[in-house]
A and B are shown apart, each in its own frame.
Chain A
Amino acid sequence: MRYIFEPGFFASGPVHTALLVGTIIAITSAVVGVFTVTRGQSFAGHSLADISITGGSGAFLIGVNQFWGYLAFGAGAAAFMEMIGVQRRRGRDVATGVVLGGALGLAALFLYLGTQNSATTGASFTILFGSLFVLTSSTVPTLIASALIALATVIVLAPVLLLSSLSPDIAAARGVNVRLIGAAFLMALSISVALAAVSIGAVLSTALLVGPAATAQKVARGPVLAMITAAVIGVVATWLGVLLSWDSFYWRPQGKSWPVSFFIVALVVGAYLVTFLKPERPVQPAREHSCSPA
């Protein structure tokens, strides 16, 4: 055990905070991620993550907690995506590309100014790649509340989201306001991306959102099982990531911890790759004739 849990792991305050917040963020990201993947909105999730870099670096520049920057820019971008609508795919791709480029340009400026004006080193690194170990304890209740809001929204919307994924026309014919539901989901997605940005950084947040969900989709057949599988993968990757990052301080050459985000993302991607080792399920033969009731 001594070599698995290096000294001080269980006594450390930052470790407790990292495990608590990391767990809740992992569950939220995974559940929101399952719907992101089934709705084919992984790219939207990634775009929100890119734009939240601008928000995070801007918040750092004016001395506000980065979570609010991630959230404000993510939600703003989600509203914009909803506004330009889903009707014109090509127009949407071009507009997204231009907006993303502009946002990342601003992020470069904010990070430069922010690191010039302040003595804080590693701020750029934290915004881009996150760290569960540097959470300020005052933000913890906010993070947990935001996560619960996003999680509850998606769970309440779940049947309608699945029906709209199956066929938007059926949902609309049964009286669902497909557009309103889509907008509500995008808002939950932007909260979830902001949280993942806090956990593993804005650049890597897509990994925590899409990775566990993509893995779950390959192994679980039903929607509830997919959500549970994704949540378990996200939580286990977060816990192991925190542990390995702590332990890495004692690895040779001693005295430097590897970033926790690296371990979380490596484990999430590793789990996804493992699913490819499983042989593909054989295509089921047509049973149309034998099942005919005639």
Chain B
Amino acid sequence: MLVELDDVGVRLGGRQILQHVTTGIGQGEFTGLIGPNGAGKTTLLRVILGLQEVSQGVVRKSGTVGYVPQKLLIEPDMPLRVKDVVSLGIDGHKLGIRFPSRERTALVDDMLTAVGADGYKNARVGELSGGEQQRVMIAHALVAKPDLLLLDEPLANLDISSAQGIVTVLADLSRKEGIAVLLSAHDMNPLLPVMDRIIYVAGGQVAAGTVDEVVQPEVLGALYGHEVDVLRVRGRVLVVAGTGLVPQ
């Protein structure tokens, strides 16, 4: 296991954000972290990254972690090109002067090709569209060769085909390079063809397993503390709140 969470709980400002979270992520697995907005997905990612202290339980990590945050704080005129951003992924956390080298350029170029962003490597990051920025940040995170890649809502605010493009790139890299991926999203449908496992978050608790095990009315109903229906329509899944009436 790359990451193991054992009975983890997080309290923030007197509110219980997560409780009794026990799950793990194995080598090379593609895991969807699914749940409604405000369910605690970002907090769970921050716990795994070590950015959020837990108030209960144990987090065990082995291997390196790359991270793609949801939002970049970048102005359009910030003098940072796509290739600079990927280069920062190699050793931007270390002090000192960087001299350009053939190896560095080749590493950056290969990574940009792998995520399909080689067409705009000289553009400023701040000028790119949301989908283009996601590709660049994935390259930034992967260039350091992590064992696990965490992505916080990478598909939010993307049009359907951009989102599909990002999922395809991630699934390819995960399979080819054996990188484990943990991706948070409020809609599981774009991920259904590629997900090995799902971690469903609702009401501060999680249920983990395969999609077939977790996406069941009883399991999700227990998480939400409310009756839910799971509808399957032509290979897609809809989770809708129950009416409160006793089912037939």
Contacts and interface: CB of A to CB of B under 8 A. Distances in A.
Interface in A267-294: 281, 283-284, 286-294
Contact of A288 (B81, B125, B132): B132
A174 B141 CA distance: 11
Task: Report which residue of B78, B118, B168 has the largest number of chain A beta carbons within 10 angstroms of its beta carbon.
Answer: B78
Contact of B69 (A157, A170, A289, A290): A170
Task: Report which residue of A158, A174, A286 has the largest number of chain B beta carbons within 10 angstroms of its beta carbon.
Answer: A174
B222 interface: no
Interface string A210-221: 000000111011
Interface in A156-181: 156-160, 162-163, 165-176
A226 interface: yes
Nearest to A176: B93
Interface in B27-51: 46, 49-51
Interface residues of B, number: 52
A14 interface: no
B34 to A, nearest CB: 21
A145 interface: no
Interface string A30-47: 000010001000000000
Task: Report which residue of A34, A223, A287 has the largest number of chain B beta carbons within 10 angstroms of its beta carbon.
Answer: A287
The prevalent SS among residues of A at the interface is helix
A132 to B, nearest CB: 29
Contacts, number: 125
Interface stretch (B94-102, B103-111, B199-207, B232-240): B94-102
B162 interface: yes
Interface in B120-141: 120, 122-125, 127-129, 131-132, 135, 140-141
Contacts of B98: 159
A222 B77 CA distance: 10
Interface of B: 46, 49-51, 65, 67, 69, 72-74, 77-81, 84-85, 88, 91-98, 114-120, 122-125, 127-129, 131-132, 135, 140-141, 159, 161-162, 165, 168-169, 172
Ranked 7 nearest A-B pairs via Cβ = A163-B92, A226-B79, A174-B93, A293-B116, A173-B49, A292-B165, A294-B168
